[in-house]
Structure formats: C-alpha cells, structure tokens
C-alpha cells in the first residue's frame, strides 16, 4: 500500500518523496506531510476504499474555480488518496483573519444557483451528504439534512428513537422559523476552526469542504458552533451581505442541529445531549 502511494506521489508531484510525517486532523483518513526530493512539501490524505477523497478533491477545485476561495491546489485525487499543496500555517484565527475570512465567505455566498442542493452528492466528515436539486429550502433542509442525518444517527444506534420522534416533530414545523427569502448560495459546508487555516493573522486557505447550494445562514450558523468566528467576522460580513432578523435569536440554533446530528452519527456521546437541548428550545 505504502509503495503504491509513494509511486503515485512521485508521478503526480514529479518528484519522489524522501520523508513522510503524520499531521493532525483528518476525520476521513490519515493526513501526512510529504517532503519531496526536489525540496517541495505536499500534503497527502489517505483512506480506505470508499473514503470519497476524490469527491473532496473535486469540492476543493469547485470552491476555487466557482467561488474564488483560497484552498490547497489539488495535485491528485482518487477515492483513497488526495494529494495537495501544503499551506503555511502559524497562529490562530485573529480578528484580522476573521475580517479577511468574512470578505472571502461573503463573496462565496454571492455565487448563486437556481435550486438548493448540488450537481452531485458530496461528503461531510466522511459521511454521505445527499444533494438532490430542490426548489424549496425548507424542503431541502428538512428532508436531506435534518431527517436524513437523523435517520443515519438512529440507524447507527447513537440517536435514541425518542429523540428521532421529536426531530420529526420539529421538521414538520420548520416554516414557523425559516422564511423563504434566502437565495441558493454556494457554501463551504463545514466551516469550523480546524478547516480555516491561518498564517500570522492572515487566511492561508480553507480545507475539508462539504459543498452545496444552501441558504447562506446555515454556513453562518455552523461558524458559531465551535467558536470559529465572532464579532470581527460578523461585523465585516454585514458590510457585504445583510443578516436577516431572527438569525441569532432563533435560526442559528435550528441550523446547527445538522452539524450536531453529524457529530451524533460519528461520535454519539455529549452531542446527543446537545440535540436534546436544542429540541427542547423549540418546544419539541
């Protein structure tokens, strides 16, 4: 396996690897820093068959070509191996980096489509993410995000049946909180801290996307779930795009049910309690 990967890296990068070091991160597979004989450094992400790393490579290229988002250059993409350029990183997401991220994300959200969804299914955290093109955002969010991932978590044994019943109840009431004014916007789809790379107070790039066309509010909500962005981001974002009333008061928690369900499906544990608390908040 390693020999084949080294041969593929040599062919794709044009130089053989001389040292391979493990890196942190990588929900889907192992991530390594690869030093090449010609002095360059690239990043290799490897996984088992069915890892969908070819889809990840496609999404990175799509974000760059359609949305102008800075991402690693994709050198090679197959189901079990993704080879990318190495982005320089140092330091966390400073207020200045948040403002720069807001410029980039607002521009991304300005890329629109006719329907919600995407031209193909994608992945999030290694999990299948269905994207049938749908005219109604409420229908899309209900059927292909909340209920789909809820059933995945239920079938895995990590989401109790009682919570699934309450989730179905909430799904039937989404129109009480979600309006239909948001246009289908291109989103990164997995906007948490580990996927926003910075270098000395500047954005290096975004990694591990889960793209589709959505109401951009779901991306803004996700960016708050683990404290990725705060006031510096949202203040700058508002200079480009309005944030509709009721987002911070209600819809941010509603939309974050989806990534919480993803985490329940992957990990269970305390995330089940987070779903329970959100359902309580909306009277379900």
Question: What CA–CA distance (Å, rounded) separates 183 from 114?
Answer: 8
Model confidence band, residue 24 (pLDDT cutoffs 50, 70, 90): low
**CB burial readout 98-116, b (16+ within 10 A) else e:** bbbbbebbbebbebebeeb
Largest Cα–Cα distance of the chain, in whole Å? 61
pLDDT at 65: 97
pLDDT at 4: 78
- Over the chain, what is the mean pLDDT? 94
Instruction: For the chain, give the percent of residues with pLDDT over 70.
Output: 98
Residue 79 pLDDT greater than 60, yes or no: yes
Which CATH number does the domain 2-85 belong to among 1.10.150.20, 3.40.50.720, 3.30.200.20, 3.40.50.300? 3.30.200.20
pLDDT at 29: 65
Most confident of 24-38, 41-55, 235-249: 235-249
* pLDDT one-digit tens code per residue, 57-70: 999 999 999 999 99
Q: Please compute the mean of the pLDDT values over residues 228-240 and round it to a whole number.
A: 97
pLDDT at 1: 52
Residue 39 pLDDT greater than 70, yes or no: yes
Per domain, the residue ranges of the chain are 2-85, 95-281
Q: Please compute the mean of the pLDDT values over residues 178-190 and round it to a whole number.
A: 94
- CATH topology for 95-281 is Aminoglycoside 3'-phosphotransferase; Chain: A, domain 2 (3.90.1200)
pLDDT at 25: 57
pLDDT at 3: 79
- DSSP for 29-69, please give it: SEEEEEEETTS-EEEEEE--TT--HHHHHHHHHHHHHHH--
The more confident residue out of 179 and 217 is 217
Strands 122-124 and 127-129 come out as antiparallel
Q: Please compute the mean of the pLDDT values over residues 41-69 and round it to a whole number.
A: 93
Residue 26 pLDDT greater than 60, yes or no: no
Q: Please compute the mean of the pLDDT values over residues 196-218 and round it to a whole number.
A: 97
Model confidence band, residue 48 (pLDDT cutoffs 50, 70, 90): confident
Instruction: For the chain, give the percent of residues with pLDDT over 90.
Output: 86
Q: Please compute the mean of the pLDDT values over residues 116-125 and round it to a whole number.
A: 96
Q: What angle do CA 22, 55, 76 make, to 5 degrees?
A: 55
State pTM to two decimals: 0.95
Residue 28 pLDDT greater than 60, yes or no: no
- DSSP for the chain, please give it: -HHHHHHHHHHHHSS-EEEEEE-S--SSSEEEEEEETTS-EEEEEE--TT--HHHHHHHHHHHHHHH----PPEEEEETTEEEEEPPP-BS---HHHHHHHHHHHHHHHT-B-SSBB-SS-EEETTEEE----BS-HHHHHIIIIIHHHHHHHHHTT-S-HHHHHHHHHHHTTGGGT--S----EEE-S--SGGGEEEETTEEEEE-S---EEE-THHHHHHHHHTT---HHHHHHHHHHS---TTIIIIIHHHHTHHHHHHHHHHH-THHHHHHHHHHHHTT-
pLDDT at 49: 80
């Amino acid at each position: 396996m390693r020999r084949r990967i080294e041969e593929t890296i040599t062919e794709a990068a044009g130089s053989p690897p001389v040292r391979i070091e493990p890196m942190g991160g990588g929900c889907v597979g192992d991530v390594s820093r690869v030093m090449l004989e010609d002095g360059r450094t690239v990043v290799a992400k490897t996984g088992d068959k069915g890892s969908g790393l070819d889809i990840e490579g496609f999404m990175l290229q799509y974000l760059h070509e359609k949305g102008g988002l800075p991402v690693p250059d994709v050198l090679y993409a197959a189901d079990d191996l993704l080879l990318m350029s190495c982005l320089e990183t140092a330091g966390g997401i400073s207020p200045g980096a948040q403002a720069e991220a807001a410029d980039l994300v607002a521009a991304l959200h300005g890329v629109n489509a006719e329907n919600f969804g995407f031209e193909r299914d994608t992945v999030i955290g290694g999990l299948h993410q269905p994207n049938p093109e749908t005219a109604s955002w409420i229908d899309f969010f209900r059927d292909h995000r909340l209920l789909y991932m809820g059933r995945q978590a239920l079938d895995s044994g990590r989401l109790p049946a009682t919570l699934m019943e309450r989730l179905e109840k909430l799904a039937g009431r989404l129109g009480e909180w979600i309006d239909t004014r948001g246009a289908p916007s291109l989103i990164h789809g997995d906007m948490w801290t580990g996927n926003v790379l910075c270098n000395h107070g500047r954005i290096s790039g975004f990694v591990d996307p889960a793209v589709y066309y959505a109401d951009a509010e779901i991306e803004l909500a996700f960016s708050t779930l683990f404290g990725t962005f705060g006031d510096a981001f949202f203040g700058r974002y508002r200079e480009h795009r309005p944030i509709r009333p009721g987002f911070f008061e209600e819809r941010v928690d509603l939309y974050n049910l989806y990534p919480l369900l993803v985490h329940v499906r992957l990990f269970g544990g305390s995330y089940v309690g987070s779903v329970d608390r959100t359902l309580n908040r909306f009277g379900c």
